[in-house]
């Protein structure tokens, strides 16, 4: 079985991001269970509107030309969003702010890559790359 890399601090970071989103845009949210496809379901006036994936990065938004995320994760999340007729959004905390993009939209390109710091062969996979210019600051 593959190790679980998500730690309590990761969920705490996600809660900080989603609180800002909900406070700024009038959403309420439901936090999904550990290992669920997405991190939150966003509601407006009690009606589900979007599935939300939250990421935390310890660099500025402009350090790299793209933000990347697992294609397998996107494919699974997109299937759930389409099945439930919901938007699929990704929120990313960078050191210079919180940004978001429509995770349901086609990425700018795909490329094989991933993390090399954990010596986990499954961290290398096809990635979806979104140009940073597509991300909108909250």
- Domain ranges in the chain are 8-137
For residue 3, the model assigns a pLDDT of 55
For residue 119, the model assigns a pLDDT of 66
Look at residues 118, 126, 112, 130 and name the one whose alpha carbon lies nearest to residue 7: 118
For residue 124, the model assigns a pLDDT of 74
Determine the average pLDDT of the residues in 92-104. 97
Q: What is the mean pLDDT of the chain?
A: 91
Q: Report the alpha-carbon distance of residue 61 to residue 63 in Å, rounded.
A: 6
Q: What does pTM read for this prediction?
A: 0.90
Fold of 8-137: Trna Endonuclease; Chain: A, domain 1 (3.40.1350)
Look at residues 23, 24, 107, 117 and name the one whose alpha carbon lies nearest to residue 73: 107
């Amino acid at each position: 079985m593959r190790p679980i890399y998500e730690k309590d601090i990761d969920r705490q970071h996600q809660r900080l991001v989603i609180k800002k989103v909900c406070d700024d845009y009038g959403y309420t949210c439901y936090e999904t269970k550990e290992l669920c496809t997405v991190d939150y379901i966003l509601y407006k006036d009690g009606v589900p509107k979007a599935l939300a994936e939250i990421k935390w990065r310890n660099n500025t938004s402009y350090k790299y030309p793209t933000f990347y995320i697992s294609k397998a994760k996107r494919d699974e999340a997109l299937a759930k969003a389409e099945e439930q007729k919901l938007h699929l959004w990704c929120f990313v905390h960078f050191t210079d702010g919180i940004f978001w993009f429509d995770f349901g939209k086609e990425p700018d390109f795909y490329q094989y890559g991933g993390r090399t710091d954990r010596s986990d062969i499954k961290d290398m996979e096809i990635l979806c790359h979104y140009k940073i210019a597509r991300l909108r600051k909250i």
